Amino acid sequence: MGMELELGGRVAVVTGASKGIGLAVVRTLAAEGMHVVAASRTSSPDFPADVLHVPVDLMEPGAPAEVIARAVSAFGGLDVLVNNAGGPPPGATLPRLGFLTPDDDDWRAMFEFNLFAAVRAVRAAIPAMLERGGGSIVNVSSTAARQAAAMNIDYSAAKAALNYVGKSVSEEYGPQGIRVNTVSPGATLTDWWTKPGGAAEVLSGVTGAGADAVVKQVAPEMMRLSTGRLVHPQEIADVVALLASPRSGSTTGADYAVDGGYLKEL
């Protein structure tokens, strides 16, 4: 008998759900027997059949509350929120090198997508979770929030702010049964890396190595990954599922790095 996560019949909202880490989280929580509401601009043929997809653009201020409301009306409440949507906002490409590169509009879009969308989702989720006597919020951040670099500064700053929000909300609502934790992926093998014009191609242009070699060797070496490879989305989804579970009842305000050993400090 494996470890029973006690998630069956509970209700989860997952944002940025159609691919990569979000899709892995949706499939994992659905496999645990949860009612899953998947929020993303487009649906995915890889969604399990019983997943409820809510098509929204999370850059719209009203979208997060709309998703939470759909979850409550469809399944009677909310137990778990996974704020996974993030990365480059629509139309932007990362990595973006240098502090002077992003302008005000770039900064605004980055914070809108990576911070404000999550803040709005948490704001909408808290009353629904309090009605159930508690819940679990998992914010998907990034190791970039904790490791400064001369690239992606607007993205990393937004994620650092998200880390603070998670810790602060966990402090306020922990006594009322709402746990808030952060998962910080390192470089993860998603289309962020592999799509045309993605990180692998950008770094290929900088390093002269082929995009495939960037993913398999150059990037892991550049980032000094202890495991020697990028993270798989499923490895992040598994940690999210554990944090969502009542089995993690005393874990709140924590930040789990799933990064192949990228972060070296104590």
Residue 220: other Cβ atoms inside 10 A:
20
Whole-angstrom distance, CA of residue 32 vs CA of residue 13:
14
Annotation marks residue 155 as catalytic: yes
8 Å CB contact between 96 and 152: yes
Nearest to 44 by CA among 35, 53, 36: 53
> What end-to-end distance do the CA atoms of the chain give, in Å?
35
> Distances in Å between the alpha carbon of 59 and those of 15, 120, 142, 185?
12, 11, 19, 22
Whole-angstrom distance, CA of residue 54 vs CA of residue 66:
9
Q: What is residue 83's three-state secondary structure?
A: strand
Q: What is residue 210's three-state secondary structure?
A: coil
Both tokens of 216, joined, read 């398999």
8 Å CB contact between 178 and 137: yes
Which residue's entry shows tokens 């960037």? 214
Whole-angstrom distance, CA of residue 40 vs CA of residue 54:
7
The residue type at 56: V
Whole-angstrom distance, CA of residue 86 vs CA of residue 260:
20
- Selecting among 155, 173, 256, 262, the annotated active-site residue is 155
Active site residues: 155
